[in-house]
Amino acid sequence: MEISEILKTISLEVAPEMFTLVSLRHEDWLRLLENPELSPRMTAPFMIFKDKFETTLLLDEVDFETLRHAVRDAKIEKGFRLLTFDLVMDFTVVGFLAEVARILAEAEISIIALSAFSRDHLLIKQENLGKALLALRNI
């Protein structure tokens, strides 16, 4: 299936929560792991991504408030909405996120792209949500 066909048939879901990105130094991440009370709720969407530079957490407002006091030295960016492309795509699909990024770039909307095993997601600032949804609807 062509990317243009996928974009016309795909369902886009917007999570009701607001999200925060947190960048932690590795030693701060290890300190957080020592306290299970600071773990995200298993009922809320969250992400933990660790690379050689940092550990990044994506948390909703409730989970962020729970650990806010423990991450005072972290880099924090608030005010994101999570958009999910609700379609399981085969790993042979090429260029889907590139086309979505192009459409949103033309609308001057900054994104953070995330991929799970079976679905792609975007983080978009709340103030750009309406404009992003309009741009993606008009494809």
Whether 40 and 8 share a structural domain: no
pLDDT tens, position by position, 99-133: 999 999 999 999 999 999 999 999 999 999 999 99
Give the separation between CA 33 and CA 114, rounded to whole angstroms.
23
CATH of residue 100:
3.30.2130.10
The residue range of the domain holding 71 is 19-78
pTM of the entire structure?
A: 0.89
Which helix (H) or strand (E) segment is 46 a member of? none
Give the separation between CA 45 and CA 15, rounded to whole angstroms.
9
Whether 71 and 91 share a structural domain: no
If you average pLDDT over residues 4-22, what whole number do you get?
Answer: 91
Whether 85 and 125 share a structural domain: yes
Q: How many domains, the chain? A: 2
Give the separation between CA 25 and CA 132, rounded to whole angstroms.
32
pLDDT tens, position by position, 23-44: 999 988 998 888 888 888 888 8
CATH of residue 44:
3.30.70.260
| pLDDT score, position 1 | 66
Structure tokens at 10: 């795909």
